[in-house]
């Protein structure tokens, strides 16, 4: 089993530290990837801090992975050494249930295997992308088009697909008014992708500090949610609201911004339950929904869409010894708009 360099959490409260982990030997259907860049998703922070429940330490997180294929197993047909590839939030699923057969592996009825903190089919705990190498079944590896700048590609594997999937499912496009709540890693991708789909995009952020960026990424309007008049001005206005906020918020206040048959989709994942008043849903026949990442085929579709339309994340490249500082900056919304680790510094 190859031993590789990584950065790991050793408890819910201590900083991440340099570590080594073992990757499995390359099996017949496996691809060995030399990771070049790994994005920092807010889910990494929720996970290592135990906010979504207890985990086993040491734990390496990271599920926005791009790199090159180094070696392939004897039965691998999809990839060869040198290919530029990506890995997102899952590395396996049952492949047999109704949802897997529909290409919706993220909703595998037997549970997909998360790229980190998941239980792999061999019983081991999966370790994620803050590392130099990873071994993944070819069916869960994505092709990263050359048109996407290498350093900027990694965040597409989670932030990109997590926003693309609900935007596509709820038909964001010309004539649709789409609001994006929270201008962070997911939020800025939601703005870019919804605008590229042709929707009329509005950003709802706590302050106007990131307004110039939001408008440059394709939003038509930008409002502060700290200003109570925003909720009056935009009442009954949107067809679709994508809520990317990582903390609890007043769901009813946002639902009231939906017009007839509008839907608010939560992709933000605070651990706490959020109350919803039924009468807010009755008005305008509103829907409140959730959405989890995207299937493998849809992730490839998203990558190809971004390559074709020139959509790329805004990234800040950091070295491994800046990971803990980057976590603090994510927590204080001081990121424009995704930290990406240069894995050569691990």
Q: In whole angstroms, how close is the CB of 116 to Zn ion at the nearest point?
A: 10
d(CA 4, CA 139): 23
Phi, psi of 103 (to 5 degrees): 80, 15
Question: Is the dihedral angle over the CA atoms 165, 169, 172, 174 positive or is it negative?
Answer: positive
Q: In whole angstroms, how close is the CB of 42 to ligand NAP at the nearest point?
A: 3
- Contact of residue 100 among Zn ion, ligand NAP, none (CB under 5-8 Å per partner type): Zn ion
Whether 115 contacts 128, CB under 8 Å: yes
Instruction: Give the x/- contact pattern for Zn ion in 81-120, rule: CB under 5 A.
Output: ------------xx--x--x-------x-x----------
Q: Which of residues 15-54 bind Zn ion (CB under 5 A)?
A: 41, 43
Question: Is the dihedral angle over the CA atoms 295, 296, 301, 304 positive or is it negative?
Answer: positive
- Minimal CA–CA distance to 52: which of 321, 199, 202, 268? 268
Question: Is residue 302 part of the contact set for ligand NAP (CB under 6 A)?
Answer: no
Q: What is the size of the binding site for ligand NAP (CB under 6 A)?
A: 29
Candidate segments 95-103, 119-127, 254-262, 329-337, binder of ligand NAP by CB under 6 A: 329-337
Whether 268 contacts 77, CB under 8 Å: no
Strand locations in 40-184, DSSP E? 65-72, 84-87, 90-92, 113-114, 133-137, 142-143, 177-181
d(CA 159, CA 175): 24
Question: Is residue 162 part of the contact set for ligand NAP (CB under 6 A)?
Answer: yes
Helix (H) or strand (E) holding 324: helix 323-331
Among 167, 240, 249, 320, the residue binding ligand NAP under the rule CB under 6 A is 249
- Contact of residue 97 among ligand NAP, Zn ion, none (CB under 5-8 Å per partner type): Zn ion
Candidate segments 5-13, 110-118, 285-293, 313-321, binder of ligand NAP by CB under 6 A: 285-293
d(CA 73, CA 41): 30
Candidate segments 1-9, 38-46, 227-235, 275-283, binder of ligand NAP by CB under 6 A: 38-46
Among 33, 108, 141, 183, the residue binding ligand NAP under the rule CB under 6 A is 183
Instruction: Give the x/- contact pattern for ligand NAP in 192-221, rule: CB under 6 A.
Output: -------------xx---------------
Whether cis (ω within 30° of 0) applies to the bond prior to 23 is no
Residues that bind ligand NAP (CB under 6 A): 41-43, 46, 158-159, 162, 182-187, 205-206, 244-247, 249, 267-269, 291-293, 330, 333, 335
Residues that bind Zn ion (CB under 5 A): 41, 43, 93-94, 97, 100, 108, 110, 158
């Amino acid at each position: 089993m190859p031993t590789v360099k990584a950065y790991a959490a050793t408890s819910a409260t201590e900083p991440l530290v340099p570590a080594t982990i073992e990757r499995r030997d390359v099996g017949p259907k496996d691809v060995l990837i030399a990771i070049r860049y790994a994005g920092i998703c807010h889910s990494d922070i929720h996970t290592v801090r135990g906010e979504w429940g207890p985990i086993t330490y040491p734990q390496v997180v990271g599920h926005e992975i791009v790199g090159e294929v180094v070696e392939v197993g004897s039965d691998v047909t999809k990839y060869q050494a040198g290919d530029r590839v990506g890995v997102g939030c899952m590395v396996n699923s049952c492949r047999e249930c109704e949802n897997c057969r529909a290409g919706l592996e993220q909703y595998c009825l037997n549970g997909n295997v998360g790229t980190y903190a998941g239980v792999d089919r061999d019983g081991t705990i999966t370790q994620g992308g803050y590392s130099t190498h990873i071994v993944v079944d070819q069916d869960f590896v994505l092709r990263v088009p050359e048109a996407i700048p290498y350093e900027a590609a990694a965040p597409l594997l989670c932030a990109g697909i997590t926003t693309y999937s609900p935007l596509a499912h709820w038909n964001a496009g010309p004539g649709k008014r789409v609001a994006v709540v929270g201008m962070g890693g997911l939020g800025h991708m939601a703005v870019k992708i919804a605008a590229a789909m042709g929707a009329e995009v509005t950003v709802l952020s706590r302050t106007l500090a990131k307004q110039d960026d939001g408008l440059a990424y394709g939003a038509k309007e930008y409002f502060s949610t700290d200003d109570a008049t925003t909720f009056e001005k935009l009442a009954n206005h949107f067809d679709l609201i994508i809520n990317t906020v990582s903390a609890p918020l007043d769901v009813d206040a946002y639902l009231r911004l939906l017009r007839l048959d509008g839907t608010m989709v939560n992709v933000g994942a605070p651990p706490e339950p959020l109350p919803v008043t039924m009468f807010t849903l009755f008005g305008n026949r509103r829907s409140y929904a959730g959405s989890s990442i995207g299937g493998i085929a849809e992730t490839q579709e998203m990558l190809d869409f971004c390559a074709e339309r020139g959509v790329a994340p805004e990234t800040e490249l950091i070295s491994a010894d800046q990971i803990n500082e980057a976590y603090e900056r994510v927590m204080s919304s001081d990121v424009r708009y995704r930290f990406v680790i240069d894995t050569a510094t691990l």
